[in-house]
Chain A
Amino acid sequence: MDARTRGLIEKARNGDAAAFDALIRGYQDPIYRMARHVCAAAPGEVDDVFQDTFLTAFKKLKQFRGDADLKTWLYRIASNLCLMRYRKKAARPEVPMLDRPDDDGNLVPADFPETAPAPEEAARRRELTDAVASSLAELPVDYRLVLTLRDVEGLSAEETAKILKLSVPAVKSRLHRGRLFLRDRFQARFAEEAA
């Protein structure tokens, strides 16, 4: 951590809102993006998660250990806020393994059809956005958190485990299952449209 950041933390700990604002400037977009993906099932919660993350951080900055990573700490606060919101809702469904073994015990390949859009195709971006939002919304929040931190935010399995207070194998397991789930949903969505 550089001297400027340490200075801003010190001032913010003493209630200096302008210093806190300067401190979090580089983290606002990642936290917003994370909230957009994790709250795919309830887009109305995104702004609240975003604001509550930073208001909580400002309030609890004295608890932040100077040797810790600020971004990781903010992701943890945001993750907890998402979990609290979603855990109030109905019991979480089990995420099924979507590939069915065939007679030889192998996985039935379920690749995307040729019509699936590549992410860089601007004309189909909206369609893709809808598909991702609705597919993510079907996943339990625990899985959305792992997929978002790993695949959207690009954090490592170790960083994700630390943020979510999970073991690395638990992160990997949720990631695998979540990816399989999304893959199947994308396939169903685009196969439907191609028909």
Chain B
Amino acid sequence: MRKHDCRTWLGFLCDEADGKKAPRLRAHLPDCPPCRAMLASLKRTVAVLRARPLGGAAPASLKAALRRRLRR
């Protein structure tokens, strides 16, 4: 019997971590603890990035500096 290789599921795991449904993967997950662990850790990684941990709003002083340069 051909050995199972989780790498073949990587694309589906990433799609699933994005919230897209991957029916074939869902059927596979109950029988594969390594894939389940991989999916959980990928979801947490994506959640960390989606929280925008490095911040978001440009400082007002930077926006003002840009405005000045545009008007030169």
Interface size on B, residues (CB 8 A): 41
Closest to B46 in A: A151
Q: Are A33 and B54 in contact (CB under 8 A)?
A: yes
Closest to A176 in B: B14
Q: Are A119 and B48 in contact (CB under 8 A)?
A: yes
Interchain CA distance A90-B35 in the complex, whole Å: 36
Interchain CA distance A36-B52 in the complex, whole Å: 10
Q: Are B69 and A51 in contact (CB under 8 A)?
A: yes
Interchain CA distance A182-B14 in the complex, whole Å: 13
- A contact patch SS: helix
CB distance from A138 to the nearest CB of B (A): 14
Q: Are A152 and B5 in contact (CB under 8 A)?
A: no
Interchain CA distance A182-B63 in the complex, whole Å: 31
Contacts of A109 in B (CB 8 A): 33-34, 37-38, 41
A72 on interface, CB distance cutoff 8 Å: no
CB distance from B41 to the nearest CB of A (A): 4
Q: Count contacts between A and B, CB distance < 8 Å.
A: 128
B22 on interface, CB distance cutoff 8 Å: no
Interface size on A, residues (CB 8 A): 52
Contacts of A125 in B (CB 8 A): 53
Q: Are B53 and A132 in contact (CB under 8 A)?
A: yes
> Among residues 40 to 81 in chain A, which have CB atoms less than 8 Å away from a CB atom of chain B?
40, 47, 50-51, 54-55, 58
Contacts of B65 in A (CB 8 A): 47, 51
A8 on interface, CB distance cutoff 8 Å: no
Q: Are A54 and B49 in contact (CB under 8 A)?
A: no
Q: Are B62 and A112 in contact (CB under 8 A)?
A: no
Interchain CA distance A32-B37 in the complex, whole Å: 34
Task: Report which of B10, B53, B71 forms a contact with A129, defined as CB distance below 8 A.
Answer: B53
6 A-B residue pairs with Cβ-Cβ distance under 8 Å, sorted by A, are A37-B54, A108-B34, A129-B53, A132-B54, A151-B50, A183-B42
